[in-house]
Amino acid sequence: MAITAAEPEAAATARSFGPAVALSCRECEERYDLGPRFACEFCFGPLEIAYDFGTVTRASIERGPKNIWRYADLLPVPADVASLPNMNPGLTPLVRADRLAAELGLRSVHVKDDSGNPTHSFKDRVVAIAVEAARTFGFRTLSCSSTGNLAGAVGAAAARAGFDSCVFIPAGLEEGKVVMAAVYGGKVVALDGHYDDVNRFCSELIGDSAGEDWGFVNVNLRPYYAEGSKTLAYEIAEQLGWRLPEQIVIPIASGSQLTKIDKGFRELIALGLVEDRPYKVFGAQATGCSPVARAWERGHDVIQPVKPDTIAKSLAIGNPADGPYVLDICARTGGAVAHVSDAEVVDAIKLLARTEGIFAETAGGVTTGVLRKLAAEGVLDPGAETVVLNTGDGLKTLNAVDSGVTATIKPSLDAFKDAGLL
Amino acid sequence: MAITAAEPEAAATARSFGPAVALSCRECEERYDLGPRFACEFCFGPLEIAYDFGTVTRASIERGPKNIWRYADLLPVPADVASLPNMNPGLTPLVRADRLAAELGLRSVHVKDDSGNPTHSFKDRVVAIAVEAARTFGFRTLSCSSTGNLAGAVGAAAARAGFDSCVFIPAGLEEGKVVMAAVYGGKVVALDGHYDDVNRFCSELIGDSAGEDWGFVNVNLRPYYAEGSKTLAYEIAEQLGWRLPEQIVIPIASGSQLTKIDKGFRELIALGLVEDRPYKVFGAQATGCSPVARAWERGHDVIQPVKPDTIAKSLAIGNPADGPYVLDICARTGGAVAHVSDAEVVDAIKLLARTEGIFAETAGGVTTGVLRKLAAEGVLDPGAETVVLNTGDGLKTLNAVDSGVTATIKPSLDAFKDAGLL
């Protein structure tokens, strides 16, 4: 490991990570002590958290805080996590979307609207877990490579928890995302290139002395960070009345979120918290960055990297690390991976706004667009209970929609009537 | 009354408004049946909701939904309100702000962060109540005069609940607010003038046949609408562990929110839900629109209207209807009304972001700025438990802060080290 972190690692105790007991290689199952590691030393596979869950009941969860810490017994965090300074995301609305469902010819649709998180994207969930790991390991600076939402989530969480922060983004991101990353007072460094270049840069930095005492939430803290996405699965099931949805549409950037929602569903089944019944997972990409959907269409199990060209910048990862796992999950559950054009993304943002009053980021346009497409093609079962994720906020991608005032007039009744607006 | 609403009114039954029993004039106490009225026919005083509360306990509230409908027994809404299509706002975070408190030399500060609402301002609370009244009265179109946040809240709520909408804003609002108002598909009409001109226009429209079957949430539905702000008081008390704060800093636009939070606290005391102990209410304005603060400074009980000139556009009401009531409440509770300059607003936005990871709208900069000012001046008791409101979201007033990237560089370690960022 390039990380020199003997001192930080020494600070961690078993209790620092609650029910988590080890890191385990997703490929070869080699185990490691819980530390700031992310790749297997033997096969270079990604490391995941391994747990030894105690007794967890619906009642014990329902008694918990009204945020993700109600699921602390299922996460790599200390039992007293709710008392520590953290953004405390989660328990975002699961919106019953009857008007959207009617328009698409579906019986039951719910929108899991993660724009309700503190910095208005699902990234607050994953960062919240990474912050606890960074605290345990004694890191002083939080960092990340980001397509925008993560930078804001890291900036805010670092401020709340008292870390320094330095985040890396591709140049040319939406203004809302840049300001939201910078306003918390940390450093925001734009790199000339795509997200994949930013990611590569961070991997170099982490191997250099300059970055050795930094907690990169999505690199050396990634095993912890990624577990935050499981809370989406837990919340959806709890909010449906402790039931898994029959179909779920999830966006794909790196693919991590989709794999962790699947993991969360399987944990709930294994713990007896929900009935074991089939669910189908559908992955959604923008056509301009659809390496996983292309592999799916072609029946390949290897992802061919692409150079992203889409307005859905938060999903613009051309070389998605978890792509192969996504293909596995969609195949295993009987789902699919599909993509929609930028024009369809914009239409879908407006559809969701017009029918349900939810102003989604472009990523939410991708999932809603894929929902519409797969419903029209008959790939989705119209009678099955369906959940679609909105992972971000339209306010951060204002330029995607051309909405503006209907008219500007003088403030008089005559002017109003003359304007032909009635 | 100019409103012709015999048919809508007939649809209302006692149960449509839960514990509400009448409209009552705030000035002369004349009573009216619950209907789309807002001013007393005798003295032109504002009408308020009068209640006959049943038994309400902490336990009955805590068993309720995780939104404002947990307080349905204290609001003019039907008992089954949680099952109707509505934005379901509320239960936003009450953030323990230890780092902010330390920087201001205060013992205990909490930020009530209403940017967590569905359209990211407290306006979702008031609109949620107005929507239920509009539904009961049979209105088909929702409307409002707005400084921006309300337009978005009305647009979204109308979409969710299946109303048409047509909202009126002053020309020149922030882009985020305009797009957020328009994206839901309703009409957004900008009027050349200030908010007070927009408000005057809406009063004319409501007296005209063109607007007679419209529900103007903050005009003919105002008695219902305004009650939504009480939920801020309920939530703060519940989230503090069923206790009133000793000091609270509230922004003043029309002044309605401040009066309703005070009303909510008094109801909680009267119902035995919290201990009856003193609390001080502090009102906050921007210097560029500070008619209430000026009256306070001069010891006047009449508000002299002003022409607003401030970046805090959501508070830019030069002729605040509830100004005199605000003066009464701040005097009665031992509080004060104060104002801060636009530069102090921006500094306060950055202070709150840097210490707590909360990106506030300019209105939140006004309250945080006044908190800082009154703490420095010794007007606030540093040892008392203090709550400050953030009523909106920084993403909607991006231009107020000049935050941007720290540097743009090539994606290489050498470039990073050369940039002098370490």
pLDDT at residue A296 above 90?
yes
Contact residues on chain A for B408, CB-CB shorter than 8 A: 171, 189-192
Of A72-81, A163-172, A201-210, A376-385, the range with the lowest mean pLDDT is: A201-210
Considering B204, B225, B246, which residue would you say is the last residue of a domain?
A: B225
Percent of chain A at pLDDT above 90? 88
Does residue B115 form part of some domain?
A: yes
Does residue A83 form part of some domain?
A: no
Please check whether residues B280 and B161 belong to one and the same domain.
no
Contact residues on chain A for B166, CB-CB shorter than 8 A: 421
Please check whether residues A249 and A177 belong to one and the same domain.
no
Convert the pLDDT of each residue in A29-84 to its tens digit: 999 999 999 999 999 999 999 999 999 999 999 999 999 999 999 999 999 999 99
Does residue B362 form part of some domain?
A: yes
Q: What is the mean pLDDT of residues A326-345?
A: 98
Percent of chain A at pLDDT above 70? 97
Query: Which among B107, B370, B411 is positioned nearest to A200, based on CA atoms?
Result: B411
Convert the pLDDT of each residue in A140-179 to its tens digit: 999 999 989 999 999 999 999 999 999 999 998 888 889 9
Please check whether residues B201 and B265 belong to one and the same domain.
no
pLDDT at residue A398 above 50?
yes
Cβ neighbours of B197 (radius 10 Å): 19
Across the interface, of B187, B350, B404, the residue whose CB is closest to A421 is B187
Q: What is the pLDDT of residue B11?
A: 46
Contact yes or no for B198 and A411 at CB 8 A = yes
Please check whether residues B30 and B109 belong to one and the same domain.
no
Q: What is the pLDDT of residue B12?
A: 55
Contact yes or no for A403 and B189 at CB 8 A = no
For residue A197, give both structure tokens. Answer: 């270049």
Q: What is the pLDDT of residue A14?
A: 55
Buried b (16+ CB within 10 A) or exposed e, A82-121: beebbbbbbbbbbbbbbbbbebbebebbbbbbbbbbbbbb
- pLDDT digits (tens), chain B, 422 positions: 333 333 444 445 657 999 999 999 999 999 999 999 999 999 999 999 999 999 999 999 999 999 999 999 999 999 999 999 999 999 999 999 999 999 999 999 999 999 999 999 999 999 999 999 999 999 999 999 998 999 999 999 999 999 999 999 999 888 888 999 999 999 999 999 988 899 999 989 988 888 778 999 999 999 999 999 999 999 999 999 999 999 999 999 999 999 999 999 999 999 999 999 999 999 999 999 999 999 999 999 899 999 999 999 999 999 999 999 999 999 999 999 999 999 999 999 999 999 999 999 999 999 999 999 999 999 999 999 999 999 999 999 888 998 889 999 999 999 999 998 87
Please check whether residues B272 and B395 belong to one and the same domain.
yes
Please check whether residues B142 and B262 belong to one and the same domain.
no
Question: Does B87 lie at the interface with A, CB-CB under 8 angstroms?
Answer: yes
Does residue B17 form part of some domain?
A: yes
Please check whether residues A43 and A115 belong to one and the same domain.
no
What is the domain-level CATH number for residue A169? 3.40.50.1100
* Measured CA distances, B52 to B7, B19, B55, B263 (Å): 26, 5, 10, 15
* Measured CA distances, B228 to A99, B125, B167 (Å): 25, 5, 19
pLDDT at residue A345 above 80?
yes
Please count the structural domains in chain B.
2
Phi/psi for A16 (5° steps) reads: -65, -25
CA distance B24 to chain A (A): 31
Does residue B80 form part of some domain?
A: no
Q: How many CB pairs under 8 A join A and B?
A: 234
Q: What is the pLDDT of residue A147?
A: 87
Contact residues on chain B for A121, CB-CB shorter than 8 A: none
B198 to chain A: nearest residue by CA? Answer: A411
Considering A194, A225, A256, which residue would you say is the last residue of a domain?
A: A225
Across the interface, of B201, B356, B411, the residue whose CB is closest to A198 is B411
Does residue B411 form part of some domain?
A: no
Mean pLDDT of chain A: 94
Please check whether residues B215 and B243 belong to one and the same domain.
no
Q: At A207, is the pLDDT very low, low, confident or very high (cuts 50, 70, 90)?
A: confident
Does residue A415 form part of some domain?
A: no
ipTM of the complex: 0.94
Q: What is the mean pLDDT of residues A378-396?
A: 97
Please check whether residues B258 and B302 belong to one and the same domain.
yes
B123: exposed, middle or buried (Cβ count in 10 Å: 0-12, 13-18, 19+):
buried
Please check whether residues A27 and A147 belong to one and the same domain.
yes
Please check whether residues B298 and B394 belong to one and the same domain.
yes
Please check whether residues B357 and B293 belong to one and the same domain.
yes
The boundaries of the domain holding residue B368 are 97-120+229-400
Taking a C-beta distance cutoff of 8 angstroms, is the pair B288, B308 a contact?
yes
Dihedral sign, CA of B194, B199, B200, B202? positive
Q: What is the pLDDT of residue B14?
A: 55
Residues 308-367 of B with CB under 8 A from A: 349-350, 353-359
Contact residues on chain B for A404, CB-CB shorter than 8 A: 178-179, 182, 188
Considering B178, B203, B225, which residue would you say is the last residue of a domain?
A: B225
Q: What is the pLDDT of residue A12?
A: 55
pLDDT at residue A2 above 70?
no
Contact residues on chain B for A142, CB-CB shorter than 8 A: none
Contact residues on chain B for A197, CB-CB shorter than 8 A: 411
Does residue B72 form part of some domain?
A: no
